[in-house]
């Protein structure tokens, strides 16, 4: 076979190789494009799923918060707690000595009410329950003012602040109500 024929065959094979290589590259680009589109769709689906999961977690958290506050509210509405609240309100304490002169059953009422509001204060402080929810259900400021001589005496006896979260709850409620009163009224909705 003469060299010119070999050269022609090699040139032909080379041309065919180049064409086949180009076809292969075009097919690879097309496949890569499909792969990129599929990956993009998968990423979009993952984002949607993450958003839905986040929404579901928020809803579950809100339900858990409401269940927790409802349990506290149910407890607070028992005859025992209501009796303690009446005892605290009717006591009209002027000093810690007045508290110490009370019968044991009446003194227990003060500890019970302080513990209730301390517990609620912990839940608010830890972010488990919002001040807005507590505002809808309780009035801790009134209990705080009524119990102030008792609280001051307990703190003095202990040498430190005992009902920290009760105090924080009252301070937070005061701030919350001040902010709520500064909020402009929206038609169809009342603000306190």
pLDDT for 183 equals 57
Q: Which two tokens stand for residue 15?
A: 């041309």
pLDDT for 184 equals 52
Does the pTM surpass 0.85? The reply is no
pLDDT for 189 equals 37
pLDDT for 94 equals 93
What is the residue whose two structure tokens read 């809803």? 59
- The full DSSP string for 96-145 is HHHHHTS-HHHHHHHHHHHHHHHHHHHHHHTTSS-HHHHHHH--HHHHHH
Domain ranges of the chain: 1-60, 77-182
**Which residue ranges of the chain lie beneath pLDDT 70?**
1, 3, 183-192
Nearest to 167 by CA among 136, 134, 192, 145: 145
pLDDT tens readout for residues 28-77:
888 888 888 888 888 888 888 888 888 888 888 778 777 877 888 888 88
């Amino acid at each position: 076979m003469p060299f010119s024929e070999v050269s022609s065959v090699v040139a032909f094979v080379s041309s065919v190789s180049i064409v086949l290589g180009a076809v292969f590259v075009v097919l690879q680009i097309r496949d890569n494009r499909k792969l990129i589109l599929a990956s993009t769709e998968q990423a979009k689906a993952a984002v949607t799923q993450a958003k839905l999961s986040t929404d579901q977690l928020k809803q579950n958290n809100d339900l858990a918060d409401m269940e927790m506050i409802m349990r506290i509210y149910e407890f607070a509405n028992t005859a025992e707690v209501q009796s303690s609240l009446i005892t605290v309100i009717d006591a009209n304490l002027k000093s810690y000595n007045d508290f110490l002169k009370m019968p044991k059953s009446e003194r227990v009422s003060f500890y019970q009410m302080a513990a209730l509001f301390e517990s609620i204060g912990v839940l608010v402080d830890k972010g488990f329950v919002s001040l807005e929810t507590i505002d809808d259900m309780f009035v801790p400021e009134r209990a705080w003012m009524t119990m102030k001589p008792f609280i001051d005496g307990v703190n003095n006896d202990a040498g430190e602040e005992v009902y920290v979260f009760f105090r924080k709850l009252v301070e937070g409620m005061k701030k919350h109500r001040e902010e709520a009163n500064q909020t402009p009224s929206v038609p169809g909705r009342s603000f306190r």
